[in-house]
Amino acid sequence: MSIVGRTAVVVLDAGSLEVRQTAAVQTESPVELRGAAFAAGTLWSYDATSGALLRIGDDGRVRARVPLTDGVPLPVPAPASVVGSRDALWVRVRTNASTLEQRVTRVDARSGDITGRFDAPAELEVGEIAVSRGI
């Protein structure tokens, strides 16, 4: 079990909740992590600073980076929701700092490839993602 903070990861024993490891997220630029999920046996989190989904090792090292906002970071760090299943992740992130525009992106957790996108209407601005079956 892992807990993701803005810039660090804490790995806990799920049964006892004892801390097994604490690590600052190690990347070439500062991060501001929002949301986290497990998929394909690895931890993922959204970096609001770069607009990318990050695969993070227990040691805090970034193992993969998947750009979600077309490589253009938002002027204001946006909130995000990250949901994982067996081999896929779904990430909801605001794509415009001044409007309620959002995008839901499906990512293959093994390859890091984007496998689908949905531009959500403004009515879903405060929504969350729920996956009804493992994909």
Mean pLDDT of 14-21: 93
Task: Look up the CATH architecture of domain 2-124.
Answer: 7 Propeller (2.130)
Task: Report residue 102 CA to chain centroid gap.
Answer: 15
pLDDT at 77 over 60: no
Domain boundaries, the chain: 2-124
Model pTM score? 0.84
CA distance 86 to 41: 8
- 123 backbone dihedrals φ, ψ, rounded to 5°: -60, -20
pLDDT at 68 over 70: yes
pLDDT at 105 over 70: yes
pLDDT of residue 87: 92
Q: Which of 41-45, 48-52, 93-97, 111-115 is predicted least confidently?
A: 93-97
| SS3 of residue 79 by DSSP | coil
pLDDT band at 25 (very low <50, low <70, confident <90, very high): very high
pLDDT band at 80 (very low <50, low <70, confident <90, very high): confident
pLDDT of residue 116: 94
pLDDT in tens, 36-55: 999 999 999 999 888 889 99
CA distance 56 to 61: 6
